[in-house]
Amino acid sequence: MKKGLRNWRLFSLFGMMALLLAGCGKPFLSTLQPAGEVADMQYSLMLLSTSIMVLVIIVVAIIFVYVVIRFRRRKGEENKIPKQVEGSHKLEIIWTVIPIILLLILAVPTVLATFKLADVKAMNVKKRDKDAVVVNVRANLYWWEFEYPDYGIITSQDLVVPTNEKVYFNLSASDVKHSFWIPAVGGKMDTNTDNKNQFWLVFDQKATDKAGGIFYGKCAELCGPSHALMDFKVRPLPRDQFDAWVKKMQNAKKPVVTDPVAKQGEAIFNKSCIGCHAVTPLDKRPAQARTAPNLANFGDRERIAGILEHNEENLKKWLRNPARVKPGNKMSGTYGHLTEEQIDALAKYLMSLKVE
């Protein structure tokens, strides 16, 4: 067993090292670097439960190590018959009652937090406060649509929200079940095909700055071949900048293209793409008809297809064969073969779609 102990020590050393390397993750993605009220609340629950549990582990570990070393069968004890103990009521009561107390300490804040996080009254009152921001999130294979019902605008893939205030979400899915998760900002909630879920998040300004202005969003429910690639980005803005962004989106007209190559791209787009993709934020079609991401501010986006770095090269790669980037996506096969020239034109046009 001596050898075993040395092994244990080695192992824990390695574990600690790996931990240090991993650190607490990236500020734009990690639940361990909470960036808002919800994530804060959840983080403190994590800390509370972890500390209670570490206490339990320490107690068990001490008894464990003592027992395993002290009571091993030594040389010359081959015929030793230990006393056959039935049990001990006192001990058994102790290790029943103490865990119950520990669990109560955890249960109370858990219940309180659960109710607090589910409090969405403010978004459902008849006369909603004008300043309360509500976003309808609609999850699709494999992209996200964000509709701002109070402002009449729609965008996709990049969620823009005001900082330091509650933002309310209506969550639904249009094809299969997904789950909406911005790890740094707060826990997830499922987007179901059967009903609408509601919850709220707060995006902290300081944390946003620390994260570089962008948070990563994920789909957390297996939804098909490209589940792993169903990312979105969140761009929290100070309230005044957010209002300005909304204004710009509301005023965005049909894009005016001047560049001759982009014009050519627009022609191709209007022939092959416009059936699904809208290019203005004011898309009046019903949700079922909006079968592809809104591209009104495509030029301002963080990523191509939610995952690739935002440049023309990647956009062309995506247009050439979307299935290579996102297997199982719904865009593959909806348009005919495009020549390199057409792809160049289309990319130019798409990159010119800007609101800001």
Partner 1 sequence: MSTITRKKGVGAVLWDYLTTVDHKKIAHLYLIAGGLFFLLGGLEALFIRIQLAKPNNDFLVGGLYNEVLTMHGTTMIFLAAMPLLFAFMNAVVPLQIGARDVAFPYLNALGFWMFFFGGLFLNCSWFLGGAPDAGWTSYASLSLASKAHHGIDFYTLGLQISGFGTIMGAVNFLVTIINMRAPGMTFMRMPMFTWATFVTSALILFAFPPLTVGLIFMMMDRLFGGNFFNPAAGGNTIIWEHLFWIFGHPEVYILILPSFGIFSEIFATFSRKRLFGYSSMVFATVLIAFFGFMVWAHHMFTVGMGPVANAIFAVATMAIAVPTGVKIFNWLFTMWGGSIKFTTPMYYAVAFIPSFVMGGVTGVMLSAAAADYQYHDSYFVVAHFHYVIVGGVVFALLAGAHYWWPKMFGRMLNETLGKISFWLFFIGFHLTFFIQHFLGLTGMPRRVFTYLPNQGWETGNLVSTIGAFFMAAATVILLINIVITTAKGEKVAGDAWGDGRTLEWAIASPPPVYNFAQTPLVRGLDAFWIEKMEGKKELTPAEPLGDIHMPNSSFLPFVTAFGLFVAAFGFTYHNDAQWGLPVGILGLLITFGSMFLRSVIDDHGFHIHKEEVLELEKKEANA
Hey, which residues between 172 and 201 contact partner 1 (CB under 8 A)?
173, 175-177, 179, 181, 183-184, 186-190, 192-195, 197-198
Segment near partner 1 (CB under 8 A), from 16-24, 155-163, 279-287, 336-344? 16-24
Task: Give the number of other Cβ atoms within 10 Å of residue 340's Cβ.
Answer: 9
Q: Which is nearer to partner 1, 73 or 126 (CB)?
A: 73
Segment (H or E) for 69: helix 37-70
Segment (H or E) for 116: helix 89-117
- Tell me which residues in 232-271 interact with partner 1 (CB under 8 A): none
Q: Which is nearer to partner 1, 78 or 240 (CB)?
A: 78
Residues in the interface with partner 1 (CB under 8 A) total 102
Q: Which is nearer to partner 1, 119 or 209 (CB)?
A: 119
Segment (H or E) for 197: strand 197-202
Is 22 one of the binding residues for partner 1 (CB under 8 A)?
yes
Rounded to a whole number of angstroms, the minimum distance from the CB of residue 356 to partner 1 is: 25
Residues contacting 147, CB < 8 A, separation 6+:
135, 136, 138, 153, 154
Is 212 one of the binding residues for partner 1 (CB under 8 A)?
no
Is 56 one of the binding residues for partner 1 (CB under 8 A)?
yes
Q: Which is nearer to partner 1, 71 or 253 (CB)?
A: 71
Is 49 one of the binding residues for partner 1 (CB under 8 A)?
yes
- Tell me which residues in 80-109 interact with partner 1 (CB under 8 A): 80-88, 91-92, 95-96, 99-100, 103, 106-107
Q: How far is CA 15 from the centre of its chain?
A: 27
Task: Give the number of other Cβ atoms within 10 Å of residue 289's Cβ.
Answer: 11
Is 30 one of the binding residues for partner 1 (CB under 8 A)?
yes
Residue of 5, 6, 13, 64 that binds partner 1 (CB under 8 A): 64
Is 220 one of the binding residues for partner 1 (CB under 8 A)?
yes
Segment near partner 1 (CB under 8 A), from 42-50, 154-162, 235-243, 248-256? 42-50
- Tell me which residues in 118-177 interact with partner 1 (CB under 8 A): 118, 171, 173, 175-177
Is 19 one of the binding residues for partner 1 (CB under 8 A)?
yes
Is 354 one of the binding residues for partner 1 (CB under 8 A)?
no
Rounded to a whole number of angstroms, the minimum distance from the CB of residue 315 to partner 1 is: 17
Residues contacting 74, CB < 8 A, separation 6+:
none
Q: How far is CA 216 from the centre of its chain?
A: 6
C-beta contacts of 338-347 below 8 A and 24+ residues apart: 338/268, 342/264, 342/265, 342/268, 343/316, 343/319, 344/261, 344/265, 344/316, 345/261, 345/262, 345/264, 345/265, 345/268, 346/265, 346/268, 346/269, 346/273, 346/319, 347/265, 347/312, 347/315, 347/316, 347/319
Q: Is the dihedral of CA 315, 321, 326, 331 positive or negative?
A: positive
